[in-house]
Amino acid sequence: MKKALISECMLGVSCRYDGKSKPLDKDILEKLNKKYILIPFCPEAYSLPTPRPAARFIGDKLIDINGVEKTSAFLKGAKKALEICQKENIKIFIGKEKSPSCGIKQTSAYINGCECKCNTYGLTSKILKENGIELLSEWELEEILN
């Protein structure tokens, strides 16, 4: 069975910026477990505390809501995700949408002073894709698994 790295918050772990989780639907999780060996990881919680101030892209930098740059901390988590994939021979990443780390189809950004959801990769997803890891959006799972 193939291994897949998965955003840990989608497995019910309270590691998101707000100290909460965003668990997947039970049926989808059951189907994922039949298809993959799921390896949970949260790149943000790896290098930042939980809870933590929300962060968004401003240009190519990750800035939290207090105006503190967090790019290096996000990069540290992204590099650890890549290291896990390489060490464990993981070729698939299942990411949490709208996350500045794990978003695959959308991530959060500030543009002209307004928060928006941009159609771009989060930092971890971008680095994994650049290194040959297949990205699966949580929004695609029901279609892929049926």
For residue range 89-128, list pLDDT tens digits in order.
999 999 999 999 999 998 876 665 656 677 889 999 999 9
In a domain, 16, yes or no: yes
Residue 20, pLDDT score: 96
- Name all contacts of 140-146 with Cβ < 8 Å and 24+ positions apart: 141/24, 141/28, 141/31, 141/32, 141/94, 142/28, 145/28, 145/31, 145/32, 145/35, 146/31
Tally the domains of the chain. 1
Range of the domain at 32: 2-54+71-96+123-145
- pLDDT > 70: what percent of the chain? 95
**What is the pTM (predicted TM-score) of this model?**
0.93
In a domain, 127, yes or no: yes
Residue 110, pLDDT score: 63
**Cα–Cα distance for residue pair 45/118, rounded to 1 Å:** 23
**Antiparallel, parallel or unpaired: β 114-118 and 107-111:** antiparallel
In a domain, 117, yes or no: no
In a domain, 112, yes or no: no
Residue 34, pLDDT score: 95
For residues 111, 114, 119, 2, the Cα torsion angle rounded to the nearest 10 degrees is 110
In a domain, 66, yes or no: no
Residue 112, pLDDT score: 58
In a domain, 62, yes or no: no
Structure tokens that stand for 51 in this block: 């809870």
In a domain, 77, yes or no: yes
In a domain, 11, yes or no: yes
User: With a cut of 70, which residues of the chain have pLDDT below it?
Assistant: 109-116
**Cα–Cα distance for residue pair 145/5, rounded to 1 Å:** 16
- Tell me phi and psi for residue 116, to 5 degrees: -145, 165
Residue 58, pLDDT score: 85
